[in-house]
Structure 1
Amino acid sequence: MKKSALAPEHKPDKVDDAPLANDGVLPTDVLRDVLLRLPAKALCNRIRLVCRSWRLLTSDPVFVQAHKFLHPLIAGLHEDQREIHIIDLHGNTIIRRIPVPRACNDLTTQLDVVCASAIKEPSFVLEKGQREVSALPELQLVGDTTFFPSVLGYVPSTGEYKVLFFKLYCTNNHGHVQPCHVISLNGGNRRWRVAPRPAVPVEPAPGNRAVIGGVAYFLMNPYNVNCPDDLEPDSIASFDLAAEEWMPTPLRGPLSSLLSAGGDALSYKKHRHDFQLTELNGSLVIVHCKNRGRSMDIWFLMDIDKAKGIWCKRYSMQCASEWEYNRRFYPLIILDDGRIVMWNRIGQIMRAYDPRTSTWSTYRLCNWYCYFGTKGGTFSTGSNN
């Protein structure tokens, strides 16, 4: 099968047969290939119980990574059932259901950790290997405040998981300030700390954020009333999670970078809603919706230091004219066959775009789901049914 340029560059290493005994019926390599095709739920709940050799095979780290490559997982927040669902996209099956004590309206993920956000209430965290969520400490809030979803981040250099929380206050001169708080999940002493606030209010809602390599990225708040005159609609604010500070200069987006070369600029208020920000298979991505949502371009940030704003347009796609809310579609993951899975919260549907044929197909109906996030974990993290 032909791979997308954005699919992983190499296949997982072959499982070492030496320490693994076969079942006496099938050769180990054949057995491995068969088991790799099974959904994670079957491996967790049934296959591992058959015999010791199967349990050893499916617990081998290389097998786990190979299965992860073939069966990408996403986490979904189900509003009606008040549950976090871990979903195997390959088999389109729910492999875990984790109850959430209160209604939540947003979800962020980092590797094996999931954070569900509740408006004006403590957020809930599902950590690696845990069967239940735990509540974060309550943050005392006063005054007339707008609340935003919590944002989960991961710092690769330290192995820390951190959660960001934002509020938005109106000032006496009809402007806005946006206090920021941060909490570390590692260790037993979980307390909120005051972090620097952004120079211009950011938008932490879905489709406006991404966390990659220990940095949280945000588009600016679309309703800024006191934004600078030169603010660009695809400008990106960056928060260093390790240092817990904002980077001094916004990252310029793809359209602004192109137009600035010719001395042109986009109007912030007119075009801000044309852009979405997300992480796609480890890359920082801007989605530019055009023609009232009938087409979209997906731009990937290419430079390593992410300071110059060098972007590459990898996909340009047409959307069916009869679709409603096209501009609310945004990408979740690139599958191993190159298709891009995109989700629309308003339409409650996932669609897959195939760049080889420029065609769309319905991937999954998603009634009552608030949000989805890609999950870097594996089927071996536990099982709740």
Structure 2
Amino acid sequence: MKKSALAPEHKPDKVDDAPLANDGVLPTDVLRDVLLRLPAKALCHRIRLVCRSWRLLTSDPVFVQAHKFLHPLIAGLHEDQREIHIIDLHGNTIIRRIPVPRACNDLTTQLDVVCASAIKEPSFVLEKGQREVSALPELQLVGDTTFFPSVLGYVPSTGEYKVLFFKLYCTNNHGHVQPCHVISLNGGNRRWRVAPRPAVPVEPAPGNRAVIGGVAYFLMNPYNVNCPDDLEPDSIASFDLEAEEWMPTPLRGPLSSLLSAGGDALSYKKHRHNFQLTELNGSLVIVHCKNRGRSMDIWFLMDIDKAKGIWCKRYSMQCASEWEYNRRFYPVIILDDGRIVMWNRIGQIMRAYDPRTSTWSTVMGTGGGMYVAVGTYVVGSLLL
């Protein structure tokens, strides 16, 4: 399996390096700063029509890259309107609306492909360059079955997009088994294939999953009734999307790795709910919600050595209130200015934590009852 390392994004060249293009009314640096703050729609449909110099400035590759970097896009699943919204996070502006045929309760993204999970099958996929979603084939559910959100993955080595689907059955001895299916989106012959099931049931819900570098990572299901005695609460199961098989040994989380060095251990049933797993700017991270002090630590996976992971705690955040801590924000993206955008599914709100000042600010508030899931949406610049 490939190493997972903290990979900082390459920032674009300074906008000051772009060709001079000004009408003389404003200083060039001031004009650039103002135009960079505008959404892509306004730049393309209005600003470029003002004069030739402004058109040249906003079309310059340096400006285009700087604008893309400053305007991260978020895909949000709107529950009431049954739509996928592509949102410019900088201005909290909806730039695209894509209808979804039926009610969905979860969303996963990979680059500019989106998968919306229906409350009942099938799930829907918005593929690259498409304006409408397409439905995935249905799977036959037999017996007393619990099913989970579909998880979208991407395999960089092959360019394939794949979707994982999990079911959960109760066995006669009151245990659980979790069949797994996979489907490839590339090509016209879409059929579900049976994949190996995990040794211990995993949790594919938001805050418990991440897909990076062709590998899907999952925390274990918090309600496992037949989990091994030595299962650690921050253990991570890994599924190789290209080979379509589970890694034989779980990846150890940051807290278990530290405690085991001193001969201590965490209780799975007591501490499992204190951990969340997600992808943050290309890195695998675990969020540890600490019971004392209403604080959260964000640990980054720096390297993988078989079952022993090397983790680094990069942020320790004090929650603004008991309400925020109870809802457990989980990180979505790190902005250009270093702020960490956190999503609160229950509160339907995005807040940004500034590690320089240890303060919180609202980035996107939905007004209640709207977005049930969000994910990053990485696409070529909207100015091109």
Using structure 2 for the length normalisation, give the TM-score.
Answer: 0.85
Pair 1:278–1:306, CA change in 2 (3 A): farther
Shift of 1:205: 0.2
Deviation larger for 295-304 or 63-72? 63-72
Pair 1:176–1:379, CA change in 2 (3 A): closer
CA contact (8 A) 1:7 1:334 kept: no
Q: Write the mapping of 1:316-327 to structure 2, written as runs, cut at 5 A.
A: 316-327=316-327
How high is the sequence identity, in percent, across the aligned residues?
98
Pair 1:294–1:190, CA change in 2 (3 A): same
Shift of 1:41: 3.0
CA contact (8 A) 1:319 1:326 kept: no
CA contact (8 A) 1:6 1:334 kept: no
**DSSP-derived class of the 2:259 partner:** helix
Shift of 1:323: 2.1
Pair 1:81–1:306, CA change in 2 (3 A): farther
Pair 1:168–1:263, CA change in 2 (3 A): same
Shift of 1:321: 3.6
Pair 1:326–1:55, CA change in 2 (3 A): farther
Distance 1:103 1:64 in 2: 36
Deviation larger for 320-329 or 244-253? 320-329
**Structure 1: where are the runs of 5+ without partners?**
363-371
CA contact (8 A) 1:137 1:190 kept: yes
Deviation larger for 22-31 or 217-226? 22-31
Pair 1:250–1:56, CA change in 2 (3 A): farther
Distance 1:297 1:62 in 2: 36
**DSSP-derived class of the 2:292 partner:** helix
CA contact (8 A) 2:294 2:322 kept: no
**DSSP-derived class of the 1:325 partner:** helix
CA contact (8 A) 1:4 1:337 kept: no
Shift of 1:95: 1.2
CA contact (8 A) 2:6 2:283 kept: no
Shift of 1:349: 1.7
CA contact (8 A) 1:211 1:217 kept: yes
CA contact (8 A) 1:200 1:220 kept: yes
Pair 1:30–1:356, CA change in 2 (3 A): closer
Distance 1:250 1:219 in 2: 10
Shift of 1:63: 4.7
Pair 1:306–1:361, CA change in 2 (3 A): farther
Deviation larger for 131-140 or 58-67? 58-67
Shift of 1:85: 1.0
**DSSP-derived class of the 2:104 partner:** coil
CA contact (8 A) 1:298 1:314 kept: yes
Deviation larger for 193-202 or 342-351? 342-351
Deviation larger for 9-18 or 163-172? 9-18
Pair 1:229–1:8, CA change in 2 (3 A): closer
Distance 1:80 1:190 in 2: 30
**Structure 2: where are the runs of 5+ without partners?**
370-375
Shift of 1:14: 6.4
CA contact (8 A) 2:86 2:377 kept: no
Deviation larger for 303-312 or 278-287? 303-312
Distance 1:173 1:5 in 2: 41
**DSSP-derived class of the 1:381 partner:** coil
CA contact (8 A) 2:111 2:377 kept: no
Shift of 1:120: 2.2
Pair 1:358–1:30, CA change in 2 (3 A): closer
Using structure 1 for the length normalisation, give the TM-score.
Answer: 0.85
Distance 2:5 2:368 in 1: 20
Shift of 1:128: 1.5
Deviation larger for 26-35 or 42-51? 26-35
CA contact (8 A) 1:109 1:375 kept: no
Question: After superposition, what is the alpha-carbon deviation per residue over 1:4-47, rounded to whole angstroms, capped at 9, x for unaligned?
Answer: 99894643146899999999999999876654332123235444
* 1:339 is the counterpart of 2:339: yes
Distance 2:130 2:358 in 1: 41
Question: After superposition, what is the alpha-carbon deviation per residue over 1:83-106, rounded to whole angstroms, capped at 9, x for unaligned?
Answer: 111111111211111111111000
CA contact (8 A) 2:234 2:255 kept: yes
Deviation larger for 93-102 or 108-117? 93-102
**DSSP-derived class of the 1:300 partner:** strand
Distance 1:63 1:5 in 2: 29
Shift of 1:343: 1.3
**Aligned length, in residue pairs:** 374
Shift of 1:167: 0.3
Pair 1:283–1:48, CA change in 2 (3 A): same
Question: After superposition, what is the alpha-carbon deviation per residue over 1:42-86, rounded to whole angstroms, capped at 9, x for unaligned?
Answer: 235444666888778756665543322111111111101111111
* 2:54 alignment partner in structure 1: 54
CA contact (8 A) 2:86 2:97 kept: yes
Shift of 1:139: 1.4
Two-structure CA RMSD over aligned residues (Å): 5.0
